[in-house]
Amino acid sequence: MGEKGSARELFDTFFGKAWPMWVGAILLAIGNTWLFLIKHPWGGTGSYVNWGQHIYQGLGVIFKDVTPISKSPIATMNLLVVLGAFCASLLAREFALRIPPAGELSKGLIGGALMGIGATIGAGCTIGGFFSGWSALSGGAIILVIGFTIGIIFALRYLFWEMEKFPKLSSGGKSFLSGVGKKGVWQPWLGIIVLLVLIIYNCLRFKESNVMTWFAVLGIWFGIVCQRSRFCITRALREPFMTGESTAPVGLMAGLLIGIFGFTIIKYMGISAYTPMAACELAMTWIYPNFWVRGLVGGFIFGIGMTVAGGCAIGTLWRAGEGQVKLWLAAIGYMLMAPISKKYIVPGFKSLPEWAQKKVFLPDVLGSYVSAIVIFLVIIALWYLFVKWNEKTGKFSAV
């Protein structure tokens, strides 16, 4: 067998095998810092709310002042995350229409609906509330993750019970259009074509707007990175309590460290490339009223939803892009429930006392950026020690 050419070796480096999750987390954190420089950090729930509002408008249920998707950076970007993941899965010959049994499909829809409720109550999902929230030095983001963790443990106990009592509920399923074998040789060629079309089309479409162009291109890139690295915050938070594996949480920690460093420079130095802001406004970017009650309750509901669905706000999107039908339903449930929750459920939480829904920017509370960063570094260090200890001992695995 002849040696591979240079181009083939390069292609196989990126698409021949999965990337380590820490590589994906670091690349996403760097890209997220660039998004913040351009306009604002990465988030997930805002796009689901926007998409859901458009669905309801199409059904004749009117939501006022709905931003067109083409004018919403985050809605456009996350739509392109799906398409970027689709391209990556084709290039790696990993795309397939995976249709699970009815029990799993129903869990996808229900889990997505719970995520829509939890994210709107908690004013954040695993990306906007956690991945970007920790980088932004938000106190509420810490509370939100505590809620996620409690919800995950609760949902895992249910899933273990379900597997024991009703094993047939999640057994079976079918797969179509798999890239395995000779029949899948078409996938990389289609992936190249779709990727080129997406890049050229979106650059021409948004040529009058640097902000929209960057969000569009980075959306495609984020979809590729997520799919190749299997980036999944659900997995990172769930695995210590399920299998005890520490690779995903440690990878996520690497991304959080890069994000904290990048966001702090932007906030402390008052840097904003395309959207100039006052220093106070810039510092409070991605700081939401989710300290205490809203963060705990919303995080708990979201944690249950993402565990049942098998993917969080962004994990749902890139998995949908590679053909996982359960996650299509999770995305639909999220889209249909998020705008309803925002309009009819969240107002009840906004009437809570101020202490139950504060906006907490830790450098303001603690008196300096250094103190806030130290708090996050200590939390990450303790988290690292816990997952490594648990990996060896299995004390909290298979809760």
The answer to the question of residue 220 being in a domain is yes
398 domain residue, yes or no: no
Collapsed DSSP state (helix, strand, coil) of residue 226: helix
Residues in the chain: 399
Structural domain includes residue 394: no
Note the pLDDT of residue 181. 80
Query: What's the structural domain count of the chain?
Result: 1
| Nearest of 281, 204, 219, 196 to residue 72 by alpha carbon | 219
Q: Residue 5: inside a domain, yes or no? A: no
Q: Is residue 379 a contact partner of residue 142, using CB atoms and an 8 Å limit?
A: yes
Residue 215 resides in a domain: yes
Give pLDDT, residue 281. 84
In a domain, 171, yes or no: yes
d(CA 153, CA 399): 7
The residues pairing with 175 across neighbouring beta strands, listed in sequence order, are 98
* Residue 190, both tokens: 């289609």
Residue 247 lies in a domain: yes
Is 0.85 surpassed by the pTM of this model?
yes
- CA 100, distance to chain mean position in Å, is 22
Question: What pLDDT score was predicted for residue 251?
Answer: 97
- Answer whether residue 4 is part of any domain: no
Phi, psi of 188 (to 5 degrees): -60, -40
Range of the domain at 32: 18-389
Residuewise pLDDT in 10s, the chain (399 residues): 446 678 888 888 899 999 999 999 999 999 999 999 999 999 999 999 999 999 999 999 888 889 999 999 999 999 999 999 999 999 999 999 999 999 999 999 999 999 999 999 999 999 999 999 999 999 999 999 999 999 999 999 999 999 999 888 888 889 998 988 888 899 999 999 999 999 999 999 998 889 999 999 999 999 999 999 999 999 999 999 999 999 999 999 999 999 999 999 999 988 877 667 777 889 999 999 999 999 999 999 999 999 999 999 999 999 999 999 999 999 999 999 999 999 999 999 999 999 899 999 999 999 999 999 999 999 999 999 999 999 999 999 876
Whole-number Å distance between alpha carbons of 265 and 259 = 10
Residues 361, 369 contacting (CB under 8 angstroms): no
Q: How far is CA 27 from the centre of its chain?
A: 14
